């Protein structure tokens, strides 16, 4: 037991594993517990780094920072992510672990839609404004909700390019039966496959402009896709903006 009387994280994880192994566990409870188990894993990564940097600020001042890059690492960028591989394992929902006005560029793509809105999304954008030096910029790419909606209510074709590009290798492929199913996947991808992280909010250009402007960025403009930085696989069906402090 922890000093607060709550079960330790390890004990909690053991209990979740036990309940998930029980064939009597209902589907709804199993989904919830799998999500909890994933958060426990991420909690461990974050707190391992927090023990090293209890102030929540690292000493390094990287000029370029990548947030949530996953396996797509960019040369010359310091990569902060919640799971390996990364230069620093950190839960961005708890803040960006950099000093004030210390970096010149932040890049992220297909990350923002995976954190809750408004609390975590708005906090992240405010933190980006804090850590960027004057004139610094943040480049953000997300699945384009306007793109998904522009095809609705057009009938779904089995050879639809969205299916081919985004979902051909997914377990959910057999459940994409209507155009609205594709819209739902962009807005709230909830596939049971633990390989994929759910979508929690949808964005278009207008929403990104509003989000960054509210946080104090002076300009928010479309970003010209650069495959030397961004993942070429993300170009299709995505919207990118660059916001300047």
Please report how the helices 27-52 and 9-21 are oriented relative to each other, as an axis angle in degrees rounded to 10. Answer: 160
Separation between Cα atoms, residue 31 and residue 33, nearest integer Å: 6
Q: Which two tokens stand for residue 232?
A: 């070429």
Helix, coil or strand: residue 107:
strand
Which pLDDT tens digit goes with each residue over 200-211? 999 999 999 999
pLDDT in tens, the chain (245 residues): 444 444 588 888 999 999 999 999 999 999 999 999 999 999 999 999 999 999 999 999 999 999 999 889 999 999 999 989 999 999 999 999 999 999 999 999 999 999 999 999 999 999 999 999 999 999 999 999 999 999 899 899 878 899 999 888 888 888 999 999 999 998 988 766 777 889 999 999 999 999 999 999 999 999 999 999 999 999 999 999 999 99
Please report how the helices 119-131 and 205-214 are oriented relative to each other, as an axis angle in degrees rounded to 10. Answer: 60
| pTM for this model (two decimals) | 0.92
């Amino acid at each position: 037991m922890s000093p607060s009387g709550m079960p330790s994280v390890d004990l909690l994880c053991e209990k979740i594993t036990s309940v998930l192994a029980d064939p009597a566990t209902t589907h709804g409870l199993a989904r919830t517990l799998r999500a909890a188990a994933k958060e426990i894993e991420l909690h461990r990564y974050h707190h391992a780094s927090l023990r090293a940097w209890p102030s929540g600020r690292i000493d390094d001042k990287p000029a370029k920072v990548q947030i949530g890059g996953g396996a797509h690492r960019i040369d010359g960028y310091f990569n902060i992510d919640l799971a390996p591989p990364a230069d620093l394992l950190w839960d961005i929902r708890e803040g960006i672990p950099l000093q004030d006005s210390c970096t010149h560029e932040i890049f992220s793509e297909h990350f923002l839609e995976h954190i809750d809105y408004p609390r975590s999304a708005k906090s992240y954008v405010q933190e980006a404004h804090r850590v960027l030096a004057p004139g610094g910029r943040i480049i953000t790419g997300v699945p384009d909700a306007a793109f998904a909606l522009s095809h609705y209510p057009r009938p779904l074709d089995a050879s639809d390019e969205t299916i081919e590009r985004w979902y051909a290798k997914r377990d959910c492929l057999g459940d994409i039966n209507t155009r609205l199913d594709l819209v739902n996947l962009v807005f709230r991808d909830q596939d049971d496959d633990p390989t994929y992280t759910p979508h929690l909010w949808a964005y278009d250009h207008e929403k990104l402009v509003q989000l960054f402007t509210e946080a104090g960025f002076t300009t928010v403009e479309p970003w010209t896709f650069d495959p030397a930085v961004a993942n070429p696989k993300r170009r299709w069906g995505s919207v990118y903006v660059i916001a300047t402090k």
